[in-house]
Structure 1
Amino acid sequence: MTNSETTEFLKTELKQIQHWENDQKDLFFWEKLGRLPFVLLDRITPKFIQNKIGTALDELGSYIQSGGRYLISKEQMYRKFFPDASRNEEPDLERIGQLPLTTQDKMADHIMETSSNSATVQGATTGFGGIFTLAIDIPLLLGISLKALQEIAISYGYDPTEQSERIFIVKCLQFSSADIVGKKAILEDLASFHSGEKSSQVMSQLQGWREVMMTYRDNFGWKKLFQMIPIAGMLFGAYLNRSTLKDVSETGKMMYRKRRILEKLNEANESEKGPLE
């Protein structure tokens, strides 16, 4: 913990995150309604699009197990924090974790903005062709979401190449599109990471990861409805992609920020106790 981060400051920041968590448990009516078209549209969606969605879900399972093609470069992110670092220098994510919270927040905010912009452009592009380009849009949006969450993880000093962190990232992805009951359950799962218990229980819960990610798929209900109209789908595609990335990256920032604050508070408590005599 840096000298500028007092215990009181960290506790105040933690309360703000807890307030945000409480707000997330209130699901607006239009968000519930947004999942309804999926059941109807599933019957009229061309088979090749349904297959593409299934492939995206399979790739997510591969990401949990091995990282697959979605893993990002830790070296590039590390040099954003330390531009003078040698190209041969092994990224020290613990060093990032020791940086002031404001520095970590600044990088996370930058990632949120750039990823949202990328998703907006992509949504407008794929929305131009109507429902048929949704087969392209869903895997691309999944990739942007995972990339943003991994970069946010590194921004707070956590290693997304570790399987436990990949599980945490998928839980964040699930949280951003879950209903009220789902959000409460996911927050309980994520609490095991905050308490340092990490993997065994949460990993066993994710054995049924296909069911876990159905909420992510259902979140495309309105998008599929509006993308049935070519050209008009550009506007809805851009808006919905941007809002999706905003929700995903905000969740990632809040959850990783909470972990880092709790660890800093724990370090402060340990230092106050001092060495045993």
Structure 2
Amino acid sequence: MSSPEQIQRRLEALQEWEEHYFQTRDTHFRSLEALQAETISRIPRRWNQKLMDAVDRFLFYTQSMILNTGVQREIEERILTTARVFRDDIEGIADVGKLRVEENKFILSQVMAKQRLLAFGQGGITGFGGPFLLASDIPLLMAINLRTVQLSALSFGYDLRHPAEMMIALKVFQVGSTPHSLQYQGWQELEWEKGNIVKEFPGLYEGDEQIIDEDWLQQPLRQVGKLTMIMLLRKKLIQGVPLIGIAYGAYSNYRFARQVSEIASGYYEKRNLLERWNNSGFA
């Protein structure tokens, strides 16, 4: 169990991270974002809503599918096995939240390294520029990064079998995958998400179940731009291989994965620390 001093120091470090992260805006993307916002505003409102509803359904189904696979059970067991190295009284995912902060961070670092490598590899494969690879890039990228959020939650002891935690994970994904300069408002709203868990029935959620908003729609436009660039770079061959397109695809997807993982790990660590602080009577 972490001491109050350790928890306080880590909360202060997270506060510094927040200030730095949200003040460091992608200023060179400002004109691009303005163009994207204008493009979205020209789309009829009903089509925007249909697109947001379609993405919401995709995220719900994808999350449910992932959480009901054998792979999910395997990764949970690996996390529990690692946690038991530090404490032999760990029985379930919720008990992982009892570890010392450094131990949770260690588990998180192990799973995040694999996720970023997966995103990097998937982007590199997309860089070959084949029609099937281009068509599957956005769904695969969303699924990989939704998985990143799920693993961040597990690393701090949040069991995603509870409907409320599933909804919160989707909200974290939405904030993490929104363009960087538009994330701050969503991050502030995440601070209140825990209050939407019904206290009498901890598995239930009473917040807004709409996940995707219009700001988020700028992200698919960026991904379409990336795919267009890969198609153009497909003809730039080096010894018969589109190396420039591969490198561009890998870097773009890695950068996106890093953004999502920063938000997810920051949110779940801060939530875990605040709960420990409040439950210990130091608030």
What percentage of aligned pairs have identical amino acids?
23
Alignment of 1:253-264 (within 5 A): 253-264=265-276
Q: Is the 8 A contact 2:176 2:263 kept in 1?
A: yes
Residue 141 of structure 2 aligns with which residue?
A: 141
Higher relative contact order (CA 8 A, sep 6+): 1
Shift of 1:187: 2.1
Is there any run of 5+ residues in structure 1 with no aligned partner, and where?
43-51, 273-277
2:76 aligned with 1:78: yes
Q: Is the 8 A contact 1:129 1:233 kept in 2?
A: yes
Aligned-pair RMSD on alpha carbons?
3.5
Change (3 A) 1:177 1:33: farther
Is there any run of 5+ residues in structure 2 with no aligned partner, and where?
41-50, 85-89, 199-204, 235-241
Residue 156 of structure 1 aligns with which residue?
A: 156
Shift of 1:130: 6.0
How far apart, in 1, do the equivalents of 2:186 and 2:94 lie? 26
TM-superposition CA deviations, 1:68-116 (whole Å, max 9, x none): 323265532332244398xxxx961221111111111111111211111
Q: What secondary structure sits across from 1:128 in the alignment?
A: coil
Change (3 A) 1:219 1:264: farther
Change (3 A) 1:165 1:34: farther
TM-superposition CA deviations, 1:206-242 (whole Å, max 9, x none): 4263646424323425413422321232111100111
How far apart, in 2, do the equivalents of 1:82 and 1:137 lie? 32
2:223 aligned with 1:224: no
2:9 aligned with 1:12: yes
Letter in 1 for 2:196: K
Change (3 A) 1:105 1:177: same
Instruction: Work out which of the residue numbers 252, 255, 259 in structure 2 matches 1:240.
Output: 252
Letter in 2 for 1:69: M
Q: Is the 8 A contact 1:126 1:134 kept in 2?
A: yes
How far apart, in 1, do the equivalents of 2:17 and 2:95 lie? 28
Q: Is the 8 A contact 1:124 1:234 kept in 2?
A: yes
TM-score (norm 2): 0.74
Q: Is the 8 A contact 1:119 1:241 kept in 2?
A: yes
Q: What secondary structure sits across from 2:158 in the alignment?
A: coil
TM-score (norm 1): 0.76
Residue 48 of structure 2 aligns with which residue?
A: none
Q: Is the 8 A contact 1:74 1:91 kept in 2?
A: no
Q: Is the 8 A contact 2:37 2:218 kept in 1?
A: no
Q: Is the 8 A contact 1:174 1:212 kept in 2?
A: no
Q: Is the 8 A contact 2:116 2:258 kept in 1?
A: yes
Q: Is the 8 A contact 1:17 1:258 kept in 2?
A: yes
Q: Is the 8 A contact 1:177 1:215 kept in 2?
A: no
How far apart, in 2, do the equivalents of 1:39 and 1:82 lie? 44
